Structure 1
Amino acid sequence: MSLPRIGVVVVTMGTRPRELEALLASVEKQDVAAERVVLVGNATPLTDVATDATKVPLTDNLGCPGGRNVALRLLRDAGDVDVVVELDDDGLLVADDVFRTVRRLFAEDPRLGIVGFRVADEHGHTERRWVPRPGAADPMRGGEVTGFLGGGHGLSMPMLRQIGLWPGEFFFGHEESDLAWRALDAGWRILYEPDLVLQHPRTSPARHAGHYRFTARNRVWLARRRLPAALVPVHLGVWIVLTTLRTRSPGSLRAWWGGFFEGLRTPCGPRRPMRWRTVWRMTRLGRPPIL
């Protein structure tokens, strides 16, 4: 059995230097070495980061998916990795066999496209929103799923060559869904593996500037790009109801609606809707693409 070569991608804005140092140290201590580690600086020169990783400082902030695409193109063109592990710059690998497990999982299943890590805080607690299945009460139950968390995951390079990279225009929010839906529609599997742990502080996604605007805009873009026409209004209608019920702040709700209408009136990129058999596959896995 051929063992895949591992590459690592980390994108940073240089605002969390201690966390980044700890993350890079946890990558270095893995008992299976990465072929290459690429550190991308979104609008940061990376001059203060001491590391053997390949540094790619960017003048502009391309957002997380745009920054990751820069590293993925570098690794893809070099041709020296088969699986890419992408990690948030404030995450931490608490075990030293993470890459070994990732390598084994991809070696055992040639149609495995994405492996999602379990995200847990410093006390080992995994929030329900961090588990990629609806109503997930047990974060330790792994298996095949329809999505993954962007904070820690492994991506098949052959899959990326087939379906393309991250939707860089999203900048922040729902880029994981766009990538996951394309992977599923191309016949790849997505696995949630709770034994692969990324320690991550418990934070609110609303801490990011523009969260409500980007979340709404990108959800509309996602539906317009990837769903069969009949499901677009259903998906958006469900999320209008859920957002209205969940959002307590009038200011946040105004920002969300602003992003929603921005998503309707602005170009969303090429429309390539998933096949109905992919809709059925997602439904059988517990998450039809209206949720």
Structure 2
Amino acid sequence: MQAARNAPSEVPARFGFSVIILTYARDTALQTTLASLRNAIGDRQDVEVVLVDNNVDKVDRASFLTVFAHRRYVRTGANKGVSGRNDGMAVAKGEILVLLDDDVLIESHDLFDKLSAAFTSEPRVGVVNARKLDSKTMSLLPEFIPHTRKDVDTTRPFFTFRFVGGLVALRRALYQDVGGFSPEFFYGLEEREYSYRIIKAGWKILYQPDIVAIETTDEGGRASRIDQRTETLSNRYIISYLHTPLAPMIANFVLFTLFLVIKERGRVNVGRALGKFSTWLKKPGRPARRPIDRHAQAYIRACGGAIWR
């Protein structure tokens, strides 16, 4: 990772919020996202913007940030995938770390006030997840609901055991306690794996529907659908192996595979996903299997979830 570059103005030792944006092959979408962020920040001086550049070209995107009073630009030097967010989290100076995707627009102009209220509601709230709407339908798609039950009331806040990306905020204390995203995952379900570690450590995840974002689903930098879904399936095997007890793990392997094959109408390569999982199992230094304990299982059940899912 190359050194982060600060704005020329004096930089405070600490901010209330750091907004961290990881970008790759989405310059047009990124600039639209930054414009929505600029509107949300307004004249606040307690927010810094950290742009993590995963592109491998020589374009200097620091110029995209000149509208922000407090800014940092981090060039990773390679496409690290989703774990590139860790480079931004490592240099961020905010007490609240806000992870914003480079193709997601902020709809709530009072975002930071609402985040403050959500985090002060209870000391063990470690993550606040926004309500993310699809730009084409302006609806909350099932895959955007941070819960295994898709009939949960999404018009009201609720505690949950997983979060979905797009617009999500974490306490600095949680990041210091749990660490960042696992480098085991290049793309797909990285939030799911992180969520397991978060609830294992005794933190809570809050879904807050009053905080609204819009997912534009820019196709820049994305792999083909079959490659995406195959990677997702392989990652699901890894996550289930790492974090779920034996019986739920087996159920997850079988039922999720069937679900994905049916949903994607064959646009997933199960054999390749199993092969990737097998290769990962043999990898030296991979994370050890540590299933969630009874406290984390009780938290999932209290949130209305099922351990096997």
TM-score, structure 2 length as denominator?
0.82
Contact 1:215/1:259 (<8 A) preserved: no
Structure 1 position 19, deviation (Å): 1.8
Residue range with higher mean Cα deviation, 182-191 or 254-263: 254-263
SS of residue in 1 equivalent to 2:65: coil
**Separation in 1, partners of 2:156, 2:186:** 31
Residue of structure 2 aligned with 1:68, choices 64, 85, 88: 85
The equivalent of 2:296 in structure 1 is 278
Q: Offset at 1:135?
A: 3.7
Tell whether the 8 Å contact from 1:212 to 1:256 is kept in structure 2 after alignment.
no
Offset at 1:61?
0.5
Paired residues of 2:103 and 2:218 also in contact (CA < 8 A): no
Q: Which residue of 2 aligns with 1:184?
A: 199
Cα-to-partner distance string for 1:239-290 (whole Å, 9 max, x where unaligned)? 2332333231266444444444445444541333211221122123122231
Given the superposition, is the C-alpha separation of residues 250 and 85 from structure 1 closer, same or farther in structure 2, using an over 3 Å criterion? closer
Deviations 1:98-117 (A, max 9, x none): 11111221123221110111
Moved more, 240-249 or 50-59: 240-249
Stretch deviating more after TM superposition (114-123 or 244-253): 244-253
> % of aligned pairs identical?
26
Q: Partner letter of residue 22 of structure 1?
A: T
| CA displacement at 1:208 relative to structure 2 | 3.0
Say whether the 8 Å CA contact 1:212–1:259 is kept in structure 2: no
Consecutive unaligned residues in structure 1, runs of 5 or more: none
* Matches of 1:282 and 1:273, distance apart in 2: 13
CA RMSD of aligned residues (A): 2.4
CA offset at residue 187 of structure 1? 1.2
Change (3 A) 1:190 1:251: closer
Aligned-partner Cα distance in 2 for 1:287–1:83: 27
Task: Report which stretch shifted further, 32-41 or 161-170.
Answer: 32-41
Moved more, 118-127 or 157-166: 118-127
Match of 1:136 in 2: 150
What SS class does the counterpart of residue 82 from structure 1 fall into? Answer: strand
Distance 1:134 1:251 in 2: 21
Give runs of aligned pairs for residues 171-250 of structure 1, distance below 5 A. 171-201=186-216, 208-209=223-224, 210-249=227-266
CA offset digits 1:154-174 (Å, max 9, x no partner): 011101111111102211112
Q: Which residue of 2 aligns with 1:10?
A: 21
Q: Corresponding residue for 2:124?
A: 111
1:36 matched to 2:53? The reply is no
The 1:251/1:90 distance shift into structure 2, 3 A limit, reads closer
Letter in 2 for 1:116: N
Is the 8 Å Cα contact of residues 230 and 270 (structure 2) preserved in structure 1? no
Change (3 A) 1:200 1:244: closer
**Structure-2 separation of matches of 1:67 and 1:34:** 24
Question: Given the two structures, how large is their TM-score scaled by the length of structure 1?
Answer: 0.87
For the 8 Å contact 1:9–1:37, the answer to whether it is kept is yes
Distance change (3 Å), C-alpha of 1:142 and 1:115: same
For residue 202 of structure 1, report the CA deviation from its aligned partner: 5.2
Q: Say whether the 8 Å CA contact 1:128–1:139 is kept in structure 2.
A: no
Matched, 1:81 2:99: no
Deviation per CA, 1:138-182: give whole Å up to 9, x if none.
532321111111111001110111111110221111211111111
Unaligned runs of 5+ in 2: 1-14
